[in-house]
Structure 1
Amino acid sequence: MSDDEAVAAAMEEHGEEDARLAIAYAGLTAKFNGETGEATFWFGVFIRLQKKEHVGWA
């Protein structure tokens, strides 16, 4: 799954507002389960989405 596909799936499943939360949750879940590669993927997707949705202070 590409970053764009992951973002699109999260937005479709959880809505635009909750997509970031869903992606962050997926990354944390993977990290706590010891799935380093999966966690890294979701962290990258989260950062990419955050940059797209720049909040001004970050």
Structure 2
Amino acid sequence: MYKSDFAQLNYDKNKKRCDRRFLPKGTKNTTHQKVAFIENWINDYPKKLFNYKTPFEVFSIC
């Protein structure tokens, strides 16, 4: 395994944990609005990796 594989694995686990806050395991149906809300929440959440800036803030700087 490469180092990047471990980083990706941790990212995937963390993203799934964030998703489970809103969609508990076993949820059958959801709406487009609910998925959009979760996406916006994740993208507006400050990340330690980005020096506690949101991904949107980091992207807008580029």
> Do they superpose with TM above 0.5?
no
Q: Which is higher, the Rg of structure 1 or of structure 2?
A: 2
